[in-house]
Structure 1
Amino acid sequence: MVREGDLCVIEIHKMLELARVFCIREVEGEIADTDMPRVLRYASEQDRAMANENLRMNKIAEQTCRAKVMKYNLNMNILNVRYSLDRSTILITFTAPEYVDFKEMVKELTAELSARIQMRQLGVRDEAGLLGGIGVCGRVLCCTKWLKTPEAVNVKAARVQGLVITPSAVSGLCGRLKCCLWYEYDQYEEAIKQLPVAGNRVRCPHGEGFVVARDVLVNKLKIRLPDNREVTCGGEEIELLEDQDGN
């Protein structure tokens, strides 16, 4: 029975890897996730030694791979090259803006490195997750630490939260909209329904006026009064009035 912290040999994506057990949990029913690693055995001293030697061999394989990319003038960016624990397979992770025909390159690499070559293309979000980094929040990227399958994000999520729609404000390190824009989207949507929108005529403790801005997070509204003064009131202090059309 493996325990948290144990170093084990696992099989994942048809490759043997050395991995440390992070947590243990029970799974009911059949496991349908093909990405689920399968624990084969405890890591032996030989496994550990081979894994350490693979770190050196990975660098050699990466140099060889990059040379082949240049030789065939392939429009692709190599992110990572590594051997499986038993050195039967080499996984090459890359990004590319278009289809890349790397058949000839793979043939040469297979012959020169004496291993099966497995090519894996990543999108820009996956690339950021693999390379890692620190977001503007000061934390490790979600896609690096825990977010396994990022969802597609659209600009509506930023608009609902009242964010300024500029690349620097709403884009992550990958250049796409930040995944975290979705995290509080439902809460913003619900909160917005409780507050009048800009332009609505309302009554507040200071009199009647028109909503000019709202802060959804703190449930506050900025209201312009007839004398052009602007006051801030809580959403619970506001009464929505009918407009001139009686709506």
Structure 2
Amino acid sequence: MTAQASKKTEFIKNVEKKTVLLSVAPLFLTILAPAFYLMGLSYHQAYLYQFGVSSNAFPLSLTDAYVNAYYACVFYCIDFLNIFKQDGIWIWLAFTFIGIVLFVFSVHKLTKGKAGSLKLPADVTKAINKLNTDENSLTFSLHFVSNEMLSAMKVALAIFAFIFFWIGVTLMGTFKGQDIVQQSKTDYLEKGCFISATTQLSNCHTIIDSQNNTINQGLLITVDGNRYALFTREGSSIQELPSGYKLHRQFSSQSAKEKGTSDKPLPSPVDD
């Protein structure tokens, strides 16, 4: 009977834990869903703004907002992982870990067995006893006011943390959108259209009409329906896509050894 009762108690505890998780999960998703949407929206707005394009010209759907948030998180993860590629980072982490271990070991060694042996003088103990809130009205008043102020500070900190969370989510999307655009714009203005040595793809898109005539070439900002935004050396422009259009992005089939490690410039576009 004892074993059965123990199993029953353990089963009840497991059910209670899962019930708590199920009750907390909707609340967590309620906060996480709008946070990801806000990150994706701020990423979209910052991305277009850096190209000089209004976000009103290309409204963002709910699905695209979550996709943008996903990419923003992926880019941040890549940036974080790149930290571990730096020279000497593992040596620094190893010495930091050893230093923390030695510090904790030293503190534990010095304080071990000495906490209970510490005795205060009789006069000090008597003065502390006089500060008992049950015997001293002034101390009781100070204690009461301090507790109320501490409670108010906790509420203020909770509000600040809530506001900081939403501002932080917005800034994360904004900064990453700006960073992506600045890098691509700088590469384009310095090198023009080129085939990346890493992806073997051109950084530019070419818009071709139904007659295989090249309409335009540059950094493709976005496409929405029958309109597109393109960045060239003259700036950004929003234009209508021709009927039967094609978007072409050149790919180099050369192997890494054949193409080398530097980016390969593309010739100026010509009509086919």
Does TM-score exceed 0.5, indicating one fold?
no
User: How does the TM-score come out when normalised to structure 1?
Assistant: 0.25
- From the two aligned structures, give the one with the greater helix fraction: 2
User: How does the TM-score come out when normalised to structure 2?
Assistant: 0.23
